[in-house]
Structure 1
């Protein structure tokens, strides 16, 4: 990115003024950090939009990386380095009496991963953008991910990590891109003119609301997307009259059950309830991601049997492996393809990497 020190300084003062109605002398340290973050987000947004537009117009094949974890680390310093403006920003801010290193320390670390698997996923995202490959991430927007560590009497104590206490400056909420994920209920096969039609009954609907984070390539104009889904209760399920008649606790219980899907990374699965929540998490983001990809593909106007010519889906370890079954379900029940055609598309679309032979990475589930 080509920008002079004076232009950066001018842009920063404008952003601080427009956002908080303050000048650098009066602003708090947090406001200075937020103004810097919003400015860098401004710089990133134009190439981000251009990247998405170019992918759509050129109809390039795009890859989607499904992972339970994305251990991104703090992004402000990464964005400054990849935009090649860190030294300019540091000097411009210094002339305004602001220490860049102090601001960098204020950024929350997104607790979206647990270790090697999550860091690997984040590195893949960085590499894809830097190498100009059209590759995006898909996962869960965990409100409480990797725990904070505290040592008491020589033992580790795990403290809840509230990294989303404040708004995460880099994400953009896309409620208009939300999709519904169904849990439970029954499916009935009904004979119709078009053959056997699956009809779903009694399922619980959960809204998957996407939040997009830019993945900025180094020294280029490529900005790919990490899309994370948050679980929310659909508005039509909120019965105001029921609340007024004393049904508040029932509403709270339902809301908590829905939102628990995107609350905590790796819930304790030593109990049947914990196992079920883990499986619900995995199915939730897999179904939401696949539905979103199918919607985007159909806008291209290409026939569904060419899906794998334009889409690749990579499964990061076994956590998202239910994507194979869910893509088949969508192709059969929603797109009304025959089994052989749907299976061929699924085989040509899906790829899988296993990173370890440890039991926690090779999930297995009882039939019930």
Structure 2
């Protein structure tokens, strides 16, 4: 195949980010695929899947439950017990054999769950007892999400411990680092936003109080990894889609404060969802993601609806150090080579996104190097 390598960009060049030397600036975004048994243990199938995509400069794993309480969808993996650690070790070994890098995304869904997914049929937990809209995916199919139970103040150290323990498990499993999922209206984002946090203790009310849990989690996770150079964080200031969650009443002040506080940890990167996750890149009037991004002193990872053209423009303009691609990686395991050569991309039908077996997961063909 004739190469159409873009000589005027460094998108495909190696780069040092945090503690990692990455082969290129293209990142595989976290993609929930719901193909793990309900014990949360990944295995050979997941090892094949991620190894096929190891030409990405960095892989962010699918969102991974940090505890039984953190689970909100059936057939999603965990990273909190020895069997799950052993399963993920198969995955990280396979990625490393292909000279790739992979981090584990640490996930607690908070209120967006169902008692059938919770230990002993308990209610999901949240900052406040405010019901989200919508349904979640259980073993019995889609079920309406109930009103959650508000966490007690005395439970907050236990939440931090869940993240700390999961970070330690990820290290044991051979991951190159972790990403703290503080986006998409899940637990940490629920604490950040005043629309979902009506607490009156030290974890609610003021912006400083609503950011407290996230910062405590970051501190605990960074301590496990020694420093921040192997820890990233994902934020989504204008994403409403999980449970149709309202935005914070002052996005710029709230997330601006949080981002400035994050700088003290010298994190590997800030991963931003630009717009609504998997949906529009539009941003509400009065909100500037560019201004928020400028507050972060480390590498910036851009995500949401990126095409090759947008990625090239981001590098030419210096607006992002790393570019995340999500859905294109589903049906194009060798996405980096396809983008580099100008080859056509395959589009995965929606019915292959979630659940099932190897079909629509590991059986996508690689680019034929001899094709004309």
Q: Is the shorter-chain TM-score for this pair beyond 0.5, marking a shared fold?
A: no
Query: Larger C-alpha radius of gyration, 1 or 2?
Result: 1
TM-score, normalised by the number of residues in structure 2: 0.31
Higher strand share: 1
